Structure 1
């Protein structure tokens, strides 16, 4: 993969580039937001690792600019550990959020996971009044657009790769939130409940987002 590292700290920028190249990726680098946006348009990266604390534009401004024209996967790096900062970045379109300081192996695993999700061709699903296009990140119910967060899209994408088949809770958490989150089953309960409210005609009696208690979830077309 071609990975663009956007980081103003030259030591960390170089360390990340070396680690990515050791994994077999092509590492591109940018030290500020304007250079990053130019590189995204001209160098065609497959994924962006984006620090929020940049010297010119903020990382959030870069992220919002990218989301105006591309679904390129973006992993945010930040020293901000507050949940409100994470939620804000994810709602602005980040695919993942890594808090500094971080382990290099964890970051590389998240890069691999984001790359796998980006490479999978998930077909457009149309069932009853529901239409879901994961590639374009567009969903409608009865013709009306439905707004989903990046994590909600992540859950849907994993489930839609295996229509009608059970996906274990640990696998869902690992794919969507990354390594180390396999025990956070409360995340799944919360996000699946929200997805049902947005997508199901009767959220109390779901037809599509099915729970297998204590085991996992499946999407029934």
Structure 2
């Protein structure tokens, strides 16, 4: 068995690390976890010890090191073909890839207006027009995938997949800032939040004892 290590940022603030961590956890393979605190004087130097890209997350898969969340997902899907990281049906998989890419490349107003911070539930922020548009589009994605591909399970394509890992931090953001969502979105969010690896990640965030002010927004 290949030795697996995942280098991540703070569980309180690194949404991209959460995505890769959930993918890795879904394989069922044991892995070592290395946590690097974000936005300190030493952060970049510490990350560069593991990857020339200078960003987390970084899975170290035996002798191979990769980066970028979608590349990580594809690599793990190839390494663990029985884990079901992508939907088995080719059409469903194509739609899963499409929404993962949309999440990966878009929703900048959501990222900036609602920083990832699962420890901060109960806060509120100003909802700008562009942020409201991001929130609406995300709920459209969830409703469409649940309606067309997810009827046989709790998640976007039935069983948990890379697509759910990509949107899990969005669920956390909506919970943190009390976003008013549709009944369909609410059911999906409850399923994500009850998923044991998501709970494990959030418990890890609660145990962190440092604060990075730039991520502490809202009242």
- Normalised to the residue count of structure 2, the TM-score between the two structures is 0.28
Rg (Cα) greater in structure = 1
The structure whose residues are more often strand, as a share, is 1
User: Whose relative contact order is higher, 1 or 2, with alpha carbons under 8 Å and at least 6 apart?
Assistant: 2
The structure whose residues are more often helix, as a share, is 2
